[in-house]
Amino acid sequence: MTNPVSAPVFSIDPVDGLIDEPRRIVVSGLVPDELVAISARTQRARDVVWMSQATFMADAQGVIDLTRDAPVGGDYAQVSAMGLIWSQQPVDSTSVELFPDDVMEPLRTTLTAETADGVSAEAELFQRFAMPGVERQEIREDGLVGTLFTPAGPGPHPVVVVLNGSGGGINEPRGALYASRGYQAFALGYFKAPGLSPFITETPLEYLETGLQWVRRKLAPRDGFVAVSGQSRGGELALLLGATFPDLVSAVIAFVPGAMVHGAQGAGDPARGGWQGTTWTRGGIPLPHLWQDNSAVHWHPWAGDVPPSRHHSVFFEGLKDTALAARARIPVENIAGPVLLISGRDDRAWPSSLYSRMVVSTLRRHDHPHLVRHLDFDDAGHAINLPFVPTTQLSREHPVSKVPYTSGGTPSGNAGADDGSWRGVLAFLDEMTGFGPQGAARPQPHAQADT
């Protein structure tokens, strides 16, 4: 008696969609209990290929469904519809570039299913940042360097100003996705972007103020709503802008933020103080920061020595200089709108969970009259990103200082935070604006606390 021969067939729903859409990936036509290896291959920026593979056992009907079935071996180990995406690693490269060079073009992933007999099948899925009709425009006005993404359909639209972290540059992927979900997005560079300083050192808050004024003057936001969204140093900056320019900022979204002003750290200019240099100025005057002659700190992660596994240890030491910490604290009680804080409990770059709790506590003590929401994710680190991108590089080289550091979390935990935080952001924005851009309910994240 001959053994039955399988003929694997892929079904992907949807094949083509926004990057924040989970997909149902099914392989049918298999022999019951058959072992099948499924791989995912994606070419990301700069011709670098990322890949993952996992082995699955078909059910009694000869079907594998990634929304239902955990792999029996491979690059991830639980039921996860998009596990083959977030478990990818770069092939023959140390690249950390997760996004395409052109965000108006989709990422294309090739899925391959191969049986033990060598019978294989292929299929493709596409992840887009910009849905059809979204427009991209480079902005070089009033000294500003950024990219504007405008949703399809008539305006006016609520606006989100998008700020990157200590890697600098312009966060176009997040800007494009905001626009795809109905929010006009101004991804604003403030260093390491064309025509700007390559370092964060001595960044004038007046530059950001000009950006906020430009948004209100040129974009005429719907109901005057302008949120500021930033991550890491951009999260620190988002809180600082809300506290400094409350009349210009309607809401703050702070990913893995600092609760106080820090020195230039890994993005600092070595010729102007390096790690301990000034980050922000106003009226030409440096803002006090945590590394300004801190009496409690005797080492620095970016001083050229081999870094500890947890960079955030130095921040706990820094907080022991309580007088300096009080001077460096961002006066978040001055924020005149709702605040969303997003953190990882295993953040090893700096203690974003603690910092977020400090912000929540301060706002509560000052009877902040607006919504304050804190999404704090288990097993997540510093690199909370867009949904359904690789989360495997827990240690990396800082893009400015080139010093290695550990971001923390687990690949699975980070993937959960990527998805949950983005859905939390959309729910927060929809709630604050009364505006559901896609006409569909937003699922709530699983880690949430309101005050």
Tell me the one-letter amino acid at 26: V
Backbone angles phi, psi at 131, to 5 degrees: -75, 160
C-alpha–C-alpha distance, residues 56 and 74, integer Å: 9
- Report, as residue numbers or ranges, the catalytic residues: 232, 347, 382
Axis-axis angle for helices 205-219, 233-244 (nearest 10): 70
Local structure of 426: helix, strand or coil: helix
Which residues are CB-contacts of 214 (< 8 A; sequence separation ≥ 6)? 141, 142, 144
Of 426, 436, 384, whose CA–CA distance to 407 is shortest? Answer: 384
Neighbour-count burial for 206-218, b at 16+ CB within 10 Å, e otherwise: ebbebbbebbeee
DSSP state of 260: B
Q: Residue 442: how many CB atoms within 10 A of its CB? A: 19
> What are the Cα distances from residue 189, in Å, to 124, 144, 215, 233, 238?
34, 8, 14, 12, 13
β-pairing, 404-406 vs 203-204, is unpaired
